[in-house]
Chains A and B, each alone.
Chain A
Amino acid sequence: MIIAERKPFKEIAAAVAPYDKILIVGCGTCVAVCLAGGEKEVGLLASQLKLAAGLKHRRIEVGEITVERQCDLEFLEPLCDFVADFDAIISMACGAGVQFLAHMCHFKPIFPAVDTTFIGVNNAVGYYTERCRACRRCYLGLTGGICPVTMCPKGLLNGPCGGTLNGKCEVDLQKDCAWSKIYQRLELEGRLDNLKEIVPLHPHSRGTTPGTVIHPAYRRRYGVDE
């Protein structure tokens, strides 16, 4: 899932300071799980904004709504009429959700309330770690289910760098060296031969942004050549 972290209140408050009617839109999927932008966080931010305005003897109107997924047109369309009553929008979704909402709601200033951080996993409440860089060429079958692109800070594809120390990473000695873990895993699985071939240069052209995926079954519908 997408992991995000809420921005400091000061930054959010400064961004919406010119506006009196503000709508906060939460997202009920990834950012809700990582406690950054779900319904509870929308309520908390609304209270903070109202309290801060009150301390400055300002009256502001803050609307709150949380949709299932801001990255999904199906859930965003019903919002469009609702937004009309407000001067500005704060989106608590990841960057994809913020942009989709901005695209749907023309001429409304929109501000992010979270910093989108990475694609990761939910280890336990409040504890998330990165696992995928969405590099568009997955090596996990070769590397024992441990991603060298993500788990090695340098994204090295052919083995460890010279800085690995006792199986730990030169960048952060609290973290495991990805290549030590890959080696251990493949050794346990009897698949060390996987590491004999030199992995060629990564095809970065596939990662030219912004990316588009059309499912093969829908190519005709979207006018894409078969």
Chain B
Amino acid sequence: MSKLSEALALNNFAVVAELTPPKGISVAAMLAPVASLKGKVQAFSVPDNEHARMRLSALACCRLVQEAGGEALLHLACRDKNRLALESELLGAAALGIENLLLVSGDYVTLGDHPDAKPVYDADSVQLLQIAGGLMAGRDSTGQALDGSPSFFLGAVVIPEAEPWGPQLVKFEKKLAAGAQFFITPPVFDLEKLKSFRQQTTASAAKLLAAVKVLSPEEAAQAKTGEWRKVYAIPPDLLARFEGKDGNDFFQAGAELAGNLVGRIKDEKLADGIYLKAEGRPDLLGKILEVAGMC
């Protein structure tokens, strides 16, 4: 049983910190949060070519996280691999002792840095959850028996602020039926929307990790100018906190805001845990937890 699944099973408020795999093989900066935070978080999460931008293999990064003393959460995107490769990667993860998974469709290739790459999507995220469940039961996606079956803690994404909500609910329910044990949201700034989602899904046995993000100056500028094309909104009063700030002051204000949000999410029981996105910076991740009173 992974530390993350254990914490969530015991209803302890879990903390996952996202790392930023390098575009290259210099891994020291990526691993810096593991050294400084491994006693304070349950798992370090590693995106799989996030935003369709090519980075160091998430599986390799997860192994490095483990060697540095942390527990890993591996993302696996349907975009880049067919079912053979997905299954093989899942078995590889299990063989390396990685249990926590976040199974996603993956942003489309034309949005990333290899726009001419062939998009795969042989499986979708629901089917990938089924595949992983099948492996846990000792069978591959064709029904062939495995020599030793893996143990996973299966995660998926849900979009509480999705508009329209109906299609998202269809997907959420299918993910639950396919065996999702926990869900991670996109970054949350509007807690009322998170609260509303939580009330609608209380019957679900799956655990919820709400993502909290340290905004970058570029993102804040986009949100102000209406160029925002994310699946989450930022209330104007929160954006106003960044007025007149730039450079490190901006990030510090972002970490403080994130810390406040984490504190409220925990106190108001809006989620079972938190997923921190702070550009993989140990100082910002540490500050969020400090402001939230969690270290």
Residues of A within 8 A of B (CB): 153-167, 170-171, 173, 177, 179-180, 182-183, 187, 192, 195-196, 198-202, 204
Contacts and interface: CB of A to CB of B under 8 A. Distances in A.
Nearest to A173: B229
Contacts of A200: 127
Nearest to B126: A158
B81 to A, nearest CB: 13
Interface in B170-205: 170-171, 173-174, 177-178, 186
Nearest to B168: A160
Interface in B60-80: 78-79
Interface stretch (B4-12, B158-166, B285-293): B158-166
Given A160-B168, A165-B229, A198-B174, A154 B119 contact: yes
Given A198-B130, A200-B127, A201-B122, A162 B186 contact: yes
Contacts of A183: 164, 166-167, 170
The 7 closest A-B pairs by CB, nearest first: A159-B171, A158-B126, A183-B167, A156-B124, A161-B105, A154-B121, A171-B108
Interface in B98-119: 104-105, 107-108, 110-111, 119
B95 interface: no
Given A165-B163, A198-B126, A198-B177, A153 B108 contact: yes
Given A170-B108, A171-B110, A201 B164 contact: no
B54 interface: no
A163 B231 contact: yes
Contact of A163 (B107, B123, B167): B107
B174 A164 contact: no
Contact of A158 (B122, B162, B163, B171): B171
Contacts of B119: 153-154
B141 interface: yes
A47 B111 CA distance: 41
B105 A201 contact: no
B110 A165 contact: no
A162 B111 contact: no
B157 interface: yes
B127 A157 contact: yes
B157 A162 contact: yes
Contacts of B108: 153-154, 163, 170-171
Interface string B115-149: 00001011111110010000000000100000000
B53 interface: no
A161 B119 CA distance: 14
A202 B83 CA distance: 11
Nearest to A154: B121
Contacts of A160: 162, 167-168, 171
A135 to B, nearest CB: 12
